[in-house]
Amino acid sequence: MRADYREALTGVSTDLVQMADLVREAVSVATTALLQADLAAAEQVISGDAHLDALHDDLESRCFVLLARQAPVAGELRTIVAALRMVADLARMGDLAAHVAKIARMRYPKHAVPDSMVPNFQRMSSLAEEMVAMASKTLAERNVLDAEKMADNDEEVDNLRTMQFRKLLDDSWEHGVEAAVDCALLGRYYERIADHAVILSSRVIYVVTGLHPEGDNWSIA
């Protein structure tokens, strides 16, 4: 019976990593849809979001079963409680990737991001994808040192977001209200993807050490 419990617990952790990898792919494909006005890529992300939601429901249910039937304590309890929160974070990141894809689809065949904003979004999307990949790696390896790097990476995303607002509010903005709204929303989506990646890493630190990370860089968690 105990062996089955261990196997179930390991299965939850393994499937969390797989879900994180799927989220990273969704972010990457959504960015392709956005920056290349690729309708097929947009549809792929939007339709794939249902699969991520199904994974969320499955993992959540399995965690509740473990809590109810096994009465875990100490590190095992931390792992299951953190997994419940992580799966919600991952599902939300998938939703955000789908939001990016929906804007790309809505503006197709035009590009939702004006040329002057493309470098900013290229860098922001690249950072967001890298952070999701790092979050997946920290989940798989339980590497606290890698997890601790995440908050510093998030600072550049925040700086890019600030630069976006400066351009959107500048008198020289010439792309109209519609493009401004799109860019404001898209920037928010990528910023929140990065934030959730930081939160995931903070949960890994909690699982491994039993302590919540402290400091201003972790305040979003």
Could you check whether the bond before residue 119 is cis, i.e. omega within 30 degrees of 0? no
3-state secondary structure of 121: helix
Q: What is the CATH number of the domain that holds 92?
A: 1.20.58.220
The pLDDT-based confidence of 215 (bands split at 50, 70, 90) is: low
Q: How confident is the model at residue 2 (pLDDT cuts 50, 70, 90)?
A: low
Q: Is 87 helix (H, G, I), strand (E, B) or coil?
A: helix
Whether 66 contacts 12, CB under 8 Å: yes
Name residue 96's amino acid.
Answer: L
Q: How far is CA 145 from the centre of its chain?
A: 20
Spatial separation of the C-alpha atoms in residues 115 and 42, rounded to whole Å: 19
Portion of the chain with pLDDT greater than 90, in percent: 62
pLDDT digits (tens, 9 = 90+) for 139-178: 888 877 777 777 778 889 999 999 999 999 999 999 999 9
Residue 187 confidence (pLDDT): 96
Cα–Cα distances (Å) from 127 to 31, 101, 122, 153, in that order, read 12, 17, 9, 8
State the total domains in the chain. 1
Q: Are residues 63 and 84 in contact, defined by beta-carbon separation less than 8 angstroms?
A: yes
DSSP state string for 30-53: HHHHHHHT-HHHHHHHHHHHHHHH
**Domain range spanning residue 9?**
2-218
CA distance 30 to 198: 20
Query: Which tens digits make up the pLDDT trace of 198-207?
Result: 998 888 888 8
